[in-house]
Amino acid sequence: MRYRQLTTGSLALGVILLIDVLRVWLPGIITIFGQAASTPAELMGAFALGWFVLAAAAPALVRRVGARPVTVTAAVLLAAARLALTATPGGRAQLWLATAGLLAGLVWLVGVAGGIDRPVPGLALGLAVNAALHALLDTYDLAWRSDWTAWLLSAVAVGAFLLATAVRGTPPGPGGARSWLLAGPVLLLAGMVALAPALAQTAMSYLVADDGVASSPLFGLAPVPVAVAGFLLAALAGPPRRPWGRALGPVAVLAGAVLFALDNGDLLLAAIPLTAIGLGACLALTDAASAVGPARADAASAVDPSRADAVGGSATAAGVGVGEAGRVDALRAAARRGYALAAGMLVFVLAAVAYYSAYDLGYPNGAVPVVVAGLVAAVAFTSRPVVGPPAGRRSAGSLAPLPTTAVVTALAMLAPVFADKVGVSTNRNGPPKEITVVAYNIRMGFGLDGRFDLPALTNTIERQRPDVVLLSEVDRGWLLNGGHDTLDLLADRLDMPYVFGAAADAVWGDAVLSRWPIEDERTLRLPAVGAPTGAQALAVTVNFSGGVRCAVVSTHLQPPPGGGPVVQARAVVDFAIEYAAGRPLVVGGDLNTEPGDEAFGKFTEVGLVDALAAGRPLATSPADDPRQEIDHVFVSPGLTPRGPVAPPGTASDHLPVAVTLTLPPR
C-alpha cells in the first residue's frame, strides 16, 4: 500500500475517533460540568472554548519539537482516551477523560496538518465512515456500550489507527491551508445537518407520519446513504472545470443551511443532501487549489533530512542537503496549515456554543449555520484551481472516488436494512378497564452520571408496565447531545409508536408513546414569556377500541425568570379542554410548578383532578435527592386514579411519575 494511502487512512481513522470523543465530551458540558440548568450558559461556553484556545498553541509546539513526535504522542493519548471512555462509569472521570481525548485529538490534527498538504480525502473519508457507522449503530455509539462487541470493535479501530500512524508519510508540498481551515466548519455542518443520521431519521418521521403518528419507519435512515454518497463523490471526484460549475457547491451548501435554519421539520429532508453535496464540493475546490506543479513539489519536498520531522515528512533523497531558503519555506508552509486547522476548529466551537447557547440565553440562532456555510462557500469559491492533474500527485490521495464511495455507501445502506420497526399493540378482547400513564423528563437520555444509558432509561419506564408514556426534554439529533435520536431509540426498545411535538426547534421537544393506536395529533406553541427554551403542548387521542377514546396532552412548561409558568399553564388548560371536547382527558409532564403554586391552580380550578394527590408528597427533582414536586399528571373527573408513585432511579435528573387510571364505562 502506498504511503499516501496509509496517510489518508490514518487521517480518516483519527477523525472517526475524534468524533467519537466529541460525542461524549459535548454532552458532558451540559450533564456533568453543567448541573440541572443551574450553571450559567456563559460559563459552560467558556469551558468549551478554553480547550480549543489551548489547542491553538499546538502549531508553536510542533515548530519547536517537530511534527512527528507531537503527532505520535497525541495519537497514543487520543487512542487511550477513546478506549477508556468505553469503560468509564460516568461522572467527572468521564468528563476529564473526554476532555483529555479532545485536546489530544486537536493537537494530533495540528501535527498531521504540518505534514499533509492534501487532507481532503482523509477528512472526507473519516466523516463519511463515521456517519455510516453512527447510522449502523442506530445512533447509539460504541462509546456508550459496555458489551464485548463494543470493546472488540473499539480496539480494532484504535489498533488500526495506531498502526497507520506509525508509518511515515511522503513529504508535503507548500499548499493545503485552505483545506485545513475548512476542517472545523465542515465538521460542524456535517454533525448538525449533512451527515447526521438522527436528523435524517427525524426528517423521515415528519415525512411518513400518518396523522402525526410515526412508528419508527423501516427506512427511516434511508437518507443517510444518499448523503454519504453525494458527499464522498463530490469531495473525491474533483471540482467541475467550468467556471459556473465551481459555484454549484457553494450555492448548495448555503441553500441547505438556509433550509435547516428555517426550523421546519418538513424541510429537513431537502436540507440534508443539499448540505452534504455542497460540503463535499467545497472541499474538492480547496483540494484542487492545494495542488502544486511538479517543479514546486520537488523543491518543497527536498527537506533537509536533519529537520524532516519539523514538517512531518522525510527527505526523498537521504543525505542530499538543500538551501536554507527551501527549509524555511517548508517550515512556514507547515505552520500555515497548523494555524489554519486551529482557526477552523475555533470556528467549530464558537459556532456550536453560539448556536446551542441560544436555548439558554434566548436569542435567535438560525443565522449561525448559515454564517458557517457562508464561510465554507467563500473559502472554497475563492480558491484558485490548478488546471490539469499535477505530475505524481493524485488529487484524491490515491483513493479511487467511485470504488471508495461505493464501499462506504454500502456500509451506510446496512443501517436502514437493519432498522427496527415498531408495531402497534392492541387489545383484541376490547378496551381495557385500566391504563397506566407514565410522565418522565428524560433529560435527552442522559443519567445523573452523564452517561447516555438507554438500558437504564428503558428499564425505569418498563418497570411501570405503561400503556401511555409522556416524555419531556426529548432530543432527536442535537450535535450538542451526541447526535442521538433518543425518541426513536426508546420507541424501538419499548415497542411503542410515538408522536413528537417540536418545542425548542424541529428536533427537541416532547412526545407521547402508546401501546394503543394514536390519532388526531395537534400542537400548540406556548407563549415564551421570557423563557428562552421553546415550549409547546402536544395533544393526541388514544383509541382503546370499542369506542373508548381518551385525550392525552404532553407538555413541558418553562417558567420565566423569577416567576412561575402561569401564562403557559393557562394556555395549556384552555387548549386541552377545547381539544378533549368532553372526552376523558389526561394532561401531564414536567410542569415546573408545585402544589399550591398559582400555575398549579390553573389546572385544578377548571375541574381537573391531581392524579398524584394520594401519594403526596411526591417529589421528583433532583433524582438523587428529590425535594421538588414539579412533575404532574392531571385527569378529568371521569378517570379514577390509584397507586401514584415516583419510582427511584438516576436514569435522568428527574424521577418519573406513574399512576393507574380506571377508564369510565362506555
- Average the pLDDT over each of 45-59, 191-205, 208-222 and give the range with the smallest value: 208-222
CB atoms within 10 A of CB 420: 15
Confidence of residue 172 (pLDDT cuts 50, 70, 90): confident
Per the structure block, which three cell numbers stand in for 557?
412548561
Which residues have a Cβ under 8 Å from the Cβ of 297 and sit 6 or more positions away? 173, 390, 391, 392, 393
CA 258/CA 371 separation, integer angstroms: 10
Residues 480/199, Cβ–Cβ less than 8 Å:
no
CA 224/CA 197 separation, integer angstroms: 6
**Got the DSSP string for 330-354?**
HHHHHHHHHHHHHHHHHHHHHHHHH
> Which tens digit of pLDDT belongs to each residue from 133-148?
999 999 999 999 888 8
- Which is it for strands 498-505 and 508-514: parallel, antiparallel or unpaired? antiparallel
What pLDDT sits at residue 389? 45
Domains of the chain: 3-418 (1.20.1250), 434-662 (3.60.10.10)
- Judge whether residue 185 has pLDDT over 80: yes
> Which tens digit of pLDDT belongs to each residue from 497-529?
899 999 989 999 999 999 999 999 999 999 988
Per the structure block, which three cell numbers stand in for 508?
427537541
What pLDDT sits at residue 601? 97
Which residues have a Cβ under 8 Å from the Cβ of 41 and sit 6 or more positions away? 357, 360, 361
What pLDDT sits at residue 665? 78
> Which tens digit of pLDDT belongs to each residue from 379-436?
999 987 654 444 334 444 457 788 888 999 999 988 877 766 555 545 446 678 899 9
Q: Which residues are registered as beta bridge partners of 589?
A: 555, 632
Residues 639/661, Cβ–Cβ less than 8 Å:
yes
Residues 140/198, Cβ–Cβ less than 8 Å:
no
Which value, to the nearest 10 degrees, does the dihedral of the CA atoms of residues 219, 496, 557, 26 take? -50
Q: Which residues are registered as beta bridge partners of 553?
A: 539, 587
The pTM of the full predicted model, rounded to 2 decimals, is: 0.91
- Judge whether residue 53 has pLDDT over 60: yes
CA 164/CA 555 separation, integer angstroms: 51
Between 288 and 541, the higher pLDDT residue: 541
Confidence of residue 310 (pLDDT cuts 50, 70, 90): very low
Rounded mean pLDDT, 444-448: 94
Between 306 and 322, the higher pLDDT residue: 322
In one letter, which amino acid is 86?
T
Would you give the end-to-end CA distance of the chain in angstroms? 74
What pLDDT sits at residue 489? 93
Residues 204/220, Cβ–Cβ less than 8 Å:
yes
